[in-house]
Structure 1
Amino acid sequence: MDKHFLLLSSVFCCTAAVTPLRCITCHLRTQRDRCRRGFSVCVAEKHETCMILKIFQDNILQLSYMVCQRFCRELTYDLNDQTYVHTCCNYNYCDFKNLKHFFS
């Protein structure tokens, strides 16, 4: 009986200790300045991760977009002389951490 109680209580403690994934949101960030539109923090819901969309032209980052995204997929494609790169990550504020080095 004591073993079952310990097992159940440890599972409950681990479940209660899990915190939701938090991502930075920015609907328009340019290379020259900080977030121009939609700066906030989103809390990812079921099946969501942090997503960054980076748009490059001539291999130079032009702007980015960061949100909590449902069923995020890693994706790169070219359209109208620009390259669009979708990146997904799943630890708190990873989208901002992954983006910082592009603007340094």
Structure 2
Amino acid sequence: MNKHFLLLFSLFCLIVAVTSLMCITCHLRTQADHCRRGFGVCFAEKHEKCMSLNIYQNHSLQLSYMVCQKFCNNLRYNFNNRTYVHKCCNYNYCNFRI
């Protein structure tokens, strides 16, 4: 009985992993560099989307941050001579290029 339960549970986990939204994670990425911290993949949970935050100064990209984000909203705002751009998307690895 336990073997059947483990088999069904493993199959369920595989189905959930296959159908979950996958996003790139990077906690520190610069324009001239690859990801310096936190590179990987996250599986979006309920109410989550892939999100990227790009920070610009004088129209030049300074930093990027990418994660799975709950209740993500597209928005743009200016603060201390920098422009912060949040972009959200909902297909696999979509936050890598936005």
Q: Secondary structure at the match of 1:91?
A: coil
Q: Which amino acid aligns with 1:70?
A: K
- Match for residue 4 of structure 1? none
1:72 partner SS: coil
Supply the distance in 2 between the matched residues of 1:76 and 1:31 (Cα, whole angstroms): 19
Counterparts of 1:21 and 1:84, CA distance in 2 = 24
RMSD value, Cα: 1.4
1:45-84 to 2 correspondence within 5 Å? 45-84=45-84
Matched residue of 1:92: which SS? coil
Deviation at 1:32, TM superposition (A): 1.2
What residue identity is the alignment partner of 1:95? N
Structure 2 matches for 1:1-104, cutoff 5 A? Answer: 19-98=19-98
Secondary structure of 1:27 counterpart: strand
Q: Report the residue type matching 1:97 in the other structure.
A: R
Q: TM-score, normalised by structure 2?
A: 0.81
Identity of aligned residues (%): 67
Shift of 1:97: 3.0
Unaligned runs of 5+ in 1: 1-15, 99-104
Question: How many residue pairs are counted as aligned between the two chains?
Answer: 83
**Aligned counterparts of 1:66 and 1:85: Cα–Cα separation in 2:** 12
One-letter amino acid of the counterpart of residue 37, structure 1: R
> Counterparts of 2:82 and 2:56 in 1: how far apart (Å)?
6
Query: Which structure 1 residue ranges, 4+ long, deviate > 3 Å from structure 2?
Result: none
